[in-house]
Amino acid sequence: MAILETTDRQRIWRGLMRYWSNLREAVGGSKAELLTTINETDNWIDAAQSNYLNSLTYRESYTGGQLTLIFCCVACMRTGLVALLRRLLGVEVDNG
């Protein structure tokens, strides 16, 4: 899977700024720094995806989309983005 097109990276860029603006969440970085961070994240995913997939014992059991969702959900839970995860998965994320 290749890196994202510039326009797709910019869609994420605009979307994140809109998301944080709506939440009124403090953001310390500039527009340019955010875009650079998105670019570097995409580059890292591109470079690291083989290692990630090779580390999964049951990777053949899931589609690429499902593996991506697993990755995102685990990352969200690890970093405390439970509200975002709840919007994606529902109240199951609140049950112990």
Task: Examine residue 14 and tell whether it contacts other proteins (CB under 8 A).
Answer: yes
Between 34 and 67, CB nearer to other proteins: 34
List binders of other proteins among 32-61 (CB under 8 A): 32-34
Residues 49, 75 contacting (CB under 8 angstroms):
no
Answer yes or no whether residue 95 interacts with other proteins by CB under 8 A.
Answer: no
For residue 54, CA distances in Å to 25, 43, 44, 51 come to 36, 18, 16, 5
Cα–chain center distance at 73: 9
Residues near other proteins (CB under 8 A): 10, 13-14, 17-18, 20-34
